């Protein structure tokens, strides 16, 4: 798969040429606070298959926990990636930043135990109370 994406203002653009893996929804409190949304969707890619097309210098890194560093556009605040130090060969991309997000379909929910009560999860996908499904 070849896909492109970027931030809200267009300052940051990227492309990847790999089949995404680990495609899922996250309901954790950190993703909720970072996005301002009850849930985010993300996928994992081999780091060497991600190419920055423009604006790499506009990316801001925020270490939200020892396990995750979030990367977002310093101009518009658009969230794009998160880095997991324990997984140096991969990077995760927020599906909402893709130009064609319908091409990458989530297959599970993580941190479902933290989901907000008014957000109904009735899509039939597997739910994990915490952690990442591997």
Q: Is pLDDT above 80 for 134?
A: no
CA distance 90 to 111: 20
Does domain 2-114 bear CATH number 2.170.150.70?
Answer: yes
Band of the pLDDT at 133, cuts 50, 70, 90?
Answer: low
Q: What is the pLDDT of residues 76-132, one digit of tens each?
A: 999 999 999 899 999 999 999 999 999 999 999 999 999 999 999 999 999 999 986
CA dihedral sign, ordered 111, 112, 115, 121: positive
21: CB partners within 8 A, 6+ apart: 43, 44, 45
Q: What is the pTM of this model?
A: 0.92
pLDDT digits (tens, 9 = 90+) for 6-53: 999 999 999 999 999 999 999 999 999 999 999 999 999 999 999 999
For residue 39, give both structure tokens: 């849930």
Which pLDDT score is estimated for 50? 97
């Amino acid at each position: 798969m070849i896909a492109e994406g970027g931030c809200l203002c267009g300052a940051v653009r990227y492309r990847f040429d790999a089949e995404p893996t680990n495609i899922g929804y996250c309901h954790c409190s950190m993703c909720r606070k970072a996005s301002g949304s009850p849930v985010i969707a993300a996928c994992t890619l081999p780091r060497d298959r991600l190419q920055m097309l423009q604006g790499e210098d506009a990316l801001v890194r925020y270490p939200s926990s020892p396990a995750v560093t979030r990367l977002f556009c310093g101009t518009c605040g658009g969230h794009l990636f998160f880095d997991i130090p324990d997984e140096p060969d991969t990077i995760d991309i927020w599906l909402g930043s893709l130009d064609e997000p319908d091409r990458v379909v989530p297959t599970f929910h993580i941190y479902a135990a933290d989901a907000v009560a008014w957000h109904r999860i009735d899509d039939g996908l597997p739910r994990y109370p915490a952690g990442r499904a591997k």
